[in-house]
Structure 1
Amino acid sequence: MSRFSSREALTTLQPPIAEKRPQVLTAHGDERVDDYYWMRDRDDPAVMAYLEAENAYTEAVMQPTTDLQTKLYDEILGRIQETDLSVPYRKGDYYYYSRTEEGKAYSIFCRKKGSLDAPEEVLLDENLLAEGHEYFDLGVLQVSPDHRLLAYSIDTNGAELFTLYFLDLATRELYAESIPDTYYSFVWGNDSRTVFYTQVDAAHRPHKLFRHTLGTPIDQDVLVFHEPDDAYHLGIGKTASEAYLLLSLNSKVTSEVHFLDANNPTGEFKLIQARSPGVEYYVEHHGEYFYITTNQDAINFQLLRAPVSRPSRENWETVIPHRETVMITGVSAFARHLVIYERQGGLETVRVRHMPSGDEHYITFPEPTYEIGEGANPEYDTNTLRFNYTSLVTPWSVFDYDLETRDRELKKETPVLGGYDKTQYVSQRLEAIAPDGTPIPLSLVYRKDLQPTEPHPLLLTGYGSYGYSYPDSFSSTRLSLLDRGVVMAIAHIRGGAELGRKWYEDGKFLNKKNTFTDFIACAEHLIDRGWTSPQHLAITGGSAGGLLVGAVVNLRPDLFRVAIADVPFVDVVTTILDPSLPLSVMEWEEWGNPNDPAFYHYMKSYSPYDNVTAQDYPAMLVTAGLNDPRVSYWEPAKWTAKLRALKTDSNVLLLKTNMGAGHSGASGRYERIKEAAFEYAFLLWQWGLA
């Protein structure tokens, strides 16, 4: 058992009680009283005082777990090969790679010319750039097509606004100009002098594309495109052939693409097909055709093609037709092959088409649950596909696959120090049954000697939004729980796309509650099958997964002993009603537009903040980032304050706000390990395993 209980901790420590300043919010004739609306004003000294008080309380309550946190930190770090090297990839005459060094928190990006035996050239050392900053994040990192220049961008507070720099790799001198407040999207023209970058509006939406010529003042940059519609996100990229630049405009359900000859970067972009509500399409280039993945008349997407000279919809012809049970998730082009990524039966598959002959085959994978992803494939004229493979028990692995001979070569399996033996762990797939009879996939991983003969501590997680399929991937950090007898489970609930696009659509808009009831059904199934019990069951989720946690602890608090909600999106109605907040208008196509009374009342019926009530809740840890542009800090802060005021139990409730970071938490691998150790210590304490 733990050395102390949460009840004992609270007899000597008093949690902060936030002041109530009632504010009436009205929509559709419906009045909501928000006692903590004032927390949105970060210039109010009382807001910072409250956050600091909560942090101090969290630190005091968790102080007895300090030794455990240190032990967990040492365990997690001890499994990592701190000095390590990525698998180099070839681009032109160079081999590019990154490496890490023991004691350094960030990556070092390097290359070698001609062969892997050549002298190393350091392109960029993040550790040097991060010096003096509490937070550091690298956004853009792109070498020019002629390999002479490096574009990179950095963010030093977590707000996801980056300053863009240009470095001459021969002289190691920076260009005089730097461009502030840029976003992630960036591309070089093929002349290695012209670049394109994006900037965001007041709601943090990338809405403008600029063209910059190196060596010129930034006030001379050309505005190439401005997207005024608040529902659309603007991005810029380049086809794998490097022949065309692609300007993409995407809402949650609609897209539009423009293209430009990459050899003529000062030319005019041309439209492929004007946007049509509800129609998404994505473009790759091969030979004389654009290959177009679209959901037009195809809920699971189909693959079409159109001549580059006549790319509009009337010229689209079918390459791979729509299938009810298979979803196309992406397409990559090589000089002689197309690689089509698909998802069937909850698992990813890779389909290879030889373009000269039309012959096809699939790449197969050995485990019952796994994840694959495309690796670094910058060379177009090659027969080698690099992909990444992992499962709940297999560390991330890099393979080179010969598209002609079908041979695969393991280039690297991420080392796990300390004698990890994957045969001592088991992964499996279960099915829970939702209230409407729908089977819900569940992935489990646990130590081989555990069986469902008695309840075990179990950590259940999920996401269920944006069509994101929760990956069955490996984590060496997770071993600190598995080796203590904890079972870990992933609920592949509706709102993701594990079972196709309909799986996503059945968990959004006016079907959103399926996400929550699916998760509850998974929890009940694990209890009924004997894997765990309500006194042993913990749940965790971040961002929209934090919304999931907030919703289910309102609905069924009796099912869970402990809950962790990281940067949780819990104040759904108030946030999405406010178009001035980051991304709110874009979110209308995910959750619904609350200006419509039907959506408003439906969203209000599940919004975690609006549905906190006087009842017992599990022990809870809530995290926030002061500079978070995606889920504003006040959402978890308000939720915590309201829980404190209304909950009827004496279970511990902690709010931990990172005062110098954003949505992703701390930067640097060592600080991230500290955060993981903190959360694991909280779980183990609550389970009585401290």
Structure 2
Amino acid sequence: MDAFEKVRTKLETQPQEEYEIINVEVKHGGFVYYQEGCCLVRSKDEEADNDNYEVLFNLEELKLDQPFIDCIRVAPDEKYVAAKIRTEDSEASTCVIIKLSDQPVMEASFPNVSSFEWVKDEEDEDVLFYTFQRNLRCHDVYRATFGDNKRNERFYTEKDPSYFVFLYLTKDSRFLTINIMNKTTSEVWLIDGLSPWDPPVLIQKRIHGVLYYVEHRDDELYILTNVGEPTEFKDGKLVPMTVFHKTDSEDLQKKPLLVHVYGAYGMDLKMNFRPERRVLVDDGWILAYCHVRGGGELGLQWHADGRLTKKLNGLADLEACIKTLHGQGFSQPSLTTLTAFSAGGVLAGALCNSNPELVRAVTLEAPFLDVLNTMMDTTLPLTLEELEEWGNPSSDEKHKNYIKRYCPYQNIKPQHYPSIHITAYENDERVPLKGIVSYTEKLKEAIAEHAKDTGEGYQTPNIILDIQPGGNHVIEDSHKKITAQIKFLYEELGLDSTSVFEDLKKYLKF
């Protein structure tokens, strides 16, 4: 609660419209580097909680709309600091290099930088390694120096478009690792931090299905890999769930329930602190996080059991989780809602087709709903990179037929549906707006057809498509979006929202 109250105080005093706290902070030497307002600043470690800081760079010099820092790296001897800066309506990032002196000054800037790290060469010169991103694809690696001996060169390009490249500096800062990966296969090259201009050294060439990562300590390389015997799960599967509710709640069966799901890419379902979730719990809601197959909660095999031709496992897990919650006395279908973001929309949309009676209302954000048509279009930025997750319906008939079985867009039919609120973004490069619009139109047509056959007295579900101008797939949370989603849920469940919006005012600037 103490931590919560600190966050509450920070939120209440934050002048920006957006409530999400940007907390990119790096400690190096005796200083802490972070963002304060619209500036990159540093303060002495012992004074980090005070307002005594040195301004290193004003982000407004870049002439961007509401810029913020999402990554900071400090050169070994603190001669330079590099910061990656982007805006809410674009995934493109600009990396600025600041020379640290009595009067800090921007030494250089590079557009479209993804990952970056510093090393120091044998002549005590700072070398910045960085990757260049184009159309969401990251294939080129550069290294650069600054000051009197400026140098900038590209020294690696990945030719296979289904792979992407990112940089990682080992924890002891001895080696820079160049990681070339897709969803199931990786290859790592090493740059010796003592000889950063030497050619990179290959650890193990890529072998389909083999993932590995490299770390270094005490002159030994440590390799984490999926090679070996995979964990075998017996039917049926035990699917983890995380449930939050007030401890003094009585008769939980009559309480509203918000179910969260993702289940893709081997990534854990995010359960980070969000003020509106705390407000819902305070107002009596139950929050349930379903860690279904396809995610990363139980390791690589958990991911493998929910991708490609096993994607329906994730749907089965989601259905089982909701039924189990109801069976254990947590809420009931008429008070159950479901929420999902991006690839989580595949499972949420599939559930709406297969078991719509389990939930009353659904909120989707930038949802992936047209899997088949998207994966058939290789001109889209991520299609080639995503083949290992969803399959290749263009060349593999088995994959095509399997995707048809669960794809939300392909399986819309005249039946009763829960009410659905979709937030989409005009400039989303990852989930094309066209697919979301097509899904919405087809869904409304199916609902109208079902309503005609049902007769008078049928209550048609509400289908709302909220297209945000500008924006992109990683847009920050605004109070407009949050309030619209919560308003939708309360109205669909017939709940009084007076108190929840009063509480939200403590966090969101109206």
Report the TM range for the smaller structure's normalisation: 0.7 to 0.9
Secondary structure of 2:94's match?
A: strand
1:676 to 450, 462, 482: 482
Counterpart of 2:28, as a letter, is K
For 2:253, what is the secondary structure of its paired residue? coil
Q: Which residue of 2 aligns with 1:596?
A: 396
Aligned-residue offset at 1:681: 1.8
1:461 equivalent in alignment to 2:260: yes
Secondary structure of the residue that 1:466 maps to in structure 2? coil
Counterpart pick for 1:478 among 264, 273, 277: 277
* Alpha-carbon separation, structure 2, partners of 1:163 and 1:86: 18
Cα deviation digits, residues 358-404 of structure 1 (max 9, x gap): xxxxxxxxxxxxxxxxxxxxxxxxxxxxxxxxxxxxxxxxxxxxxxx
- The CA deviation string for residues 226-275 of structure 1, in whole angstroms up to 9 with x for no partner, is 11112211111211111111111111111111111113222211111111
Q: Is the 8 A contact 1:86 1:97 kept in 2?
A: no
User: What is the percent sequence identity of the aligned residues?
Assistant: 32
- Cα distance in 2 between the residues matched to 1:677 and 1:523: 25
User: CA separation in 1, counterparts of 2:91 and 2:218?
Assistant: 37
1:261 aligned onto 2:71: no
How far apart in 2 are the matches of 1:457 and 1:266?
60
User: Residue type matched to 2:326 in 1?
Assistant: I
Shift of 1:212: 2.1
**Residue matched to 1:188:** 118
Query: How far has the Cα of 1:118 moved from its partner?
Result: 11
Q: Any gaps of 5 or more consecutive residues in structure 2? A: 1-6, 15-20, 452-459, 498-510
Distance 1:478 1:85, change over 3 A: closer
- Counterpart amino acid of 1:154? I
Distance in 1 between residues matched to 2:22 and 2:445, nearest whole Å: 51
Residue 665 of structure 1: aligned partner:
475
Q: For residue 509 of structure 1, what is the aligned residue in structure 2?
A: 308
Provide the secondary structure at the position in 2 that maps to 1:282. strand
- 1:573 aligns with 372
Task: Say if 2:255 and 2:284, in contact at 8 Å, map to a contact too.
Answer: yes
- Number of the residue aligned with 1:31: none
Are positions 1:91 and 2:28 aligned together? yes
User: What is the alpha-carbon distance in structure 2 between the residues aligned to residue 85 and residue 518 of structure 1?
Assistant: 34
Pick from 84, 98, 101 the counterpart of residue 167 of structure 1.
98
5+ unaligned residues in a row in structure 1: which ranges? 1-75, 301-323, 326-433
User: Of 593, 607, 613, which residue of structure 1 is paired with 2:413?
Assistant: 613
Partner of 1:531: 330
Residues 37-186 of structure 1 mapped to structure 2, 5 A cutoff:
80=11, 82=13, 90-92=27-29, 94-98=30-34, 109-112=41-44, 120-124=53-57, 128=60, 133=65, 136-156=67-87, 158-170=89-101, 171-175=103-107, 177-182=108-113, 184-186=114-116
1:372 corresponding residue in structure 2? none
Evaluate the alpha carbon distance shift between residue 216 and residue 252 of structure 1 in structure 2; reply closer, same or farther with a 3 A threshold.
farther
The 5-angstrom pairing of residues 171-570 of structure 1 reads 171-175=103-107, 177-182=108-113, 184-190=114-120, 191-202=124-135, 204-215=136-147, 221-299=152-230, 437-452=236-251, 454-570=253-369
Change (3 A) 1:542 1:113: closer
Checking the alignment, whether the CA contact within 8 Å between 1:629 and 1:662 is kept in structure 2 is yes
> Does the 8 Å CA contact 2:91/2:474 hold for their aligned counterparts?
no
- Listed one character per residue, the Cα deviations across residues 277-329 of structure 1 (whole Å, up to 9, x for unaligned) are 111110000111111101112436xxxxxxxxxxxxxxxxxxxxxxx79xxxx
CA shift digits 1:496-519 (9 cap, x unpaired)? 132333222111111100111211
Structure 2 SS opposite 1:568: coil
Paired residue secondary structure (1:547): helix
Report the Cα distance in structure 2 between the residues aligned to 1:533 and 1:506, rounded to whole angstroms.
Answer: 29
Q: Distance in 2 between matches of 1:615 and 1:129?
A: 55
Letter in 2 for 1:267: D
How many residues are treated as equivalent by the alignment?
468
SS at match of 1:512: helix
Report the counterpart of residue 461 of structure 2 in structure 1.
Answer: 651
1:458–1:487 Cα contact (<8 Å) kept: yes
User: What per-residue deviation string (whole Å, max 9, x for no partner) do you get for residues 434-485 of structure 1?
Assistant: 9x63232222111122244533211011111111222555443312211221
The one-letter code of the counterpart of 1:640 is T
Are the aligned partners of 2:142 and 2:153 in contact in 1 as well (CA < 8 Å)? yes
SS at match of 1:293: strand
SS at match of 2:385: helix
Alignment check: 8 A CA contact 1:567 1:622 kept: yes
- Name the residue aligned to 1:639: 439
| Higher deviation after alignment, 463-472 or 561-570 | 463-472
Letter of the 2:143 counterpart? R
CA distance in 1, matches of 2:39, 2:443: 40
Given the superposition, is the C-alpha separation of residues 500 and 90 from structure 1 closer, same or farther in structure 2, using an over 3 Å criterion?
Answer: closer
What is the rounded CA distance, in whole Å, between the counterparts of 2:207 and 2:137 in structure 1? 21
SS in structure 2 at match of 1:440: coil
Shift of 1:572: 0.5
- Give the aligned partner of residue 337 of structure 1: none
TM-score by length of 2: 0.84
Going from structure 1 to structure 2, the CA distance change for 1:118 and 1:630 (only over 3 Å counts) comes to: closer
Distance 1:631 1:87 in 2: 27
Distance 1:467 1:505 in 2: 8
Q: Alpha carbons of 1:215 and 1:658: their partners in 2 closer, same or farther (altered >3 Å)?
A: farther
Change (3 A) 1:123 1:674: farther
Return 567-576 or 466-475, whichever deviates more: 466-475
Q: 1:445 to 1:113 in 2, by over 3 A?
A: closer
Counterparts of 2:320 and 2:384, CA distance in 1 = 32
Contact 1:464-1:494 at 8 Å conserved across structures: yes
Cα contact 1:186–1:195 (8 A) shared by 2:
yes
SS for the counterpart of 2:187 is strand
Q: Does 1:622 align with 2:432?
A: no
Could you tell me which amino acid in structure 2 is paired with residue 91 of structure 1?
H
Give the TM-score of the pair, scaled to structure 1.
0.63
The answer (yes or no) to whether the contact 2:25–2:35 under 8 Å persists in 1 is no
- Evaluate the alpha carbon distance shift between residue 107 and residue 115 of structure 1 in structure 2; reply closer, same or farther with a 3 A threshold: closer
